[in-house]
Amino acid sequence: MGAPVKVRILGVGMGPQHVTPEVAAALSSADYVLAAEKSDDDQLLALRRRIVQLYPGPNGPLEIVTVPDPQRDRSGVLSAARYRTAVTDWHRARATAFATVLRERAGTAAFLVWGDPSLYDSTIRIVVRIRELLRLSSLDLEFDVLPGVSAPQLLAARHRIVLHEVGRAVHLTTGRRLQEAVAAGLDNIVVMLNPPTDQVDFAGLDDWTMWWGANLGATGERLIAGRVGDVLPAVAEARAEAAAHDGWVMDVFLVRRT
């Protein structure tokens, strides 16, 4: 095999203010940034461009090489099995598109990952798939991972809380699986990757306490806390406001049995 392709997977939290010195140094060592472009007005891609401008390499801001993001089925009524299949197919298509760029350009590419690469992000899985694809072309791929500020960390900091009570556990799951966690007897749950509020099943949780946040760290950040049954209408409204303000929305919340 020839000289290996190198990839650096860099956690960037929610933007330039969360880029650590370690990540900034790694970014300056790359030849270019590789990213998926979701639309002609991709606001998260615009944030990546801002990061690159604020943390340039020795020859100035790195080039951002984009590939159109493959479509996946985002229907809210998918079964668990169909959801896993949709995501697997999406990852495979992404890996194929990225592998084409890496094969042509070689050098060192950086992926800028929102939050932290270890938590509800699939960049590491996709890069492992890319490595398998490149080996078919007699190319090797080396990669490393640097951490970033995660959404649960920001949520706890904004609300000035600890994510768990003394000596207790905290469970992390997705909006699709909230009721599964409740049914298992879990009563201190951080929930990420959420569909619109009216598509999350909050049955039986009216008297629990919620600490909620959307677009944490962005200019459209919204925060709400209180009894679940009381705050859900305000959460739905604030989520829509965050989406309108930033052009995208990601929310996370902690619910705890009172």
For the segment 165-211, what is each residue's pLDDT rounded down to a tens digit? Answer: 999 999 999 999 999 999 999 999 999 999 999 999 999 999 999 99
- Measured CA to CA, the distance from residue 211 to residue 253 in angstroms comes to 5
Per-residue pLDDT tens digits for 153-164: 999 999 999 999
pLDDT band per the 50, 70, 90 thresholds, residue 106 = confident
* pTM > 0.75: yes
Q: Which residue do the tokens 């094969």 mark?
A: 103
Element (H, E) at 254: strand 251-256
pLDDT above 60: residue 109: yes
| Angstrom distances, CA of residue 255 to CA of 2, 23, 146, 152, 154 | 51, 32, 29, 12, 15
> Burial, 225: exposed, middle or buried (Cβ in 10 Å; 0-12, 13-18, 19+)?
middle
Percent of the chain with pLDDT over 90: 83
Residue ranges of domains in the chain, CATH in brackets: 5-146 (3.40.1010.10), 151-256 (3.30.950.10)
Mean pLDDT of the chain: 93
- Measured CA to CA, the distance from residue 143 to residue 140 in angstroms comes to 10
pLDDT band per the 50, 70, 90 thresholds, residue 258 = confident
Query: Token pair of 187, please?
Result: 């009563």
